[in-house]
Amino acid sequence: MSSQSWDVQQYQESASFVPQLGTPLLQLLAPQKQEKILDLGCGDGKLTLEIKNYGCEVIGVDSSAEMVNAAQKLGLNTEVLSGDSLKFKEEFDAVFSNAALHWMVNKNQVVAGVYKALKPQGRFIGEFGGEGNIKHLVTVISDIFQDFPEFGDFKNPWYFPSVAEYSEILTETGFTVEYIELIPRPTPLKNDVIQWLRIFANGITNNLTKEQQQKFLKEAESRLYPLIYSKSEGWVADYVRLRFKAIKNS
């Protein structure tokens, strides 16, 4: 499968809930004036800008050139860099990451790079998809690929760990985990599940023909309807977030 790509306008119109739901994570970060902070997976820079407005020096990195370009239009210092290729050494008071770490499947390299980037006693604050996140969506997508072998193999692009698994990675890298928990967060979709799939699952389907993509979307909508749709609430994604705070030991 090809890698995920992002349509910034589509993302901003239909997935604005992603940065909006990051407010509690900013509170956990508690940025202080003149701190130097790395926003890992900064996306279009909405939360990066909020951190900067606390009086911090912020650098944002993201693997998407489209997202980085959008963030730069906000006057932010951002660059295209994948989470498993961080190049910094003891530069930051904190590393912040919202709704991005589940895209970084090379999790050990990511955590090691964060550890190296932090100053001694620096903090790593993050929230991303945890165990059970979008369970219905992942199951349905997997089942569709199984039922339509002409689509090819389904390669899950996401990493949704348990509290125990991610705690172990953090501690083995050298962090002290001060706080970590799974937070169920059923999330209403602004439009419908097809739009969600177009935004967040295009890396799964972009090797399909146009006809196959349409077949996939119709199948997914039909199968997901009894699982995550109700007349009273509309489409609600079964999100589960893993939120944590860890401190670099040395």
Q: What is the pLDDT of residues 203-220, one digit of tens each?
A: 899 899 999 999 999 999
- Contact in structure between 129 and 72 (CB atoms under 8 Å): no
The dihedrals phi and psi of 194, each to the nearest 5 degrees, come to -65, -45
Cross-strand pairs, 244: 126, 180
CATH number of 8-134+158-188+236-248: 3.40.50.150
Torsion of CA 59, 5, 186, 166, to 10 degrees: -60
The reported pLDDT for the residue numbered 7 is 54
Residue entry with tokens 């620096």: 122
> Which pTM was predicted?
0.90
pLDDT at 250: 79
> Chain-centre distance of CA 116, in angstroms?
21
> What is the DSSP secondary structure assignment for residue 83, as one 8-state letter?
G
Report the 10 Å Cβ neighbour count for 21: 16
Q: Return the DSSP state at 21.
A: T
pLDDT reported for residue 15: 43
How far apart (Å, rounded) are the C-alpha atoms in residues 236 and 134? 10
Mean pLDDT of the chain: 91
The number of angstroms, rounded, from the C-alpha of 174 to the middle of its chain's C-alpha atoms is: 23
On the question of pLDDT at 119 being above 50, the answer is yes
pLDDT at 14 over 60: no
Confidence of residue 23 (pLDDT cuts 50, 70, 90): confident
Higher-scoring residue by pLDDT: 228, 14: 228
Count of CB atoms situated within 10 Å of the CB of 86: 20
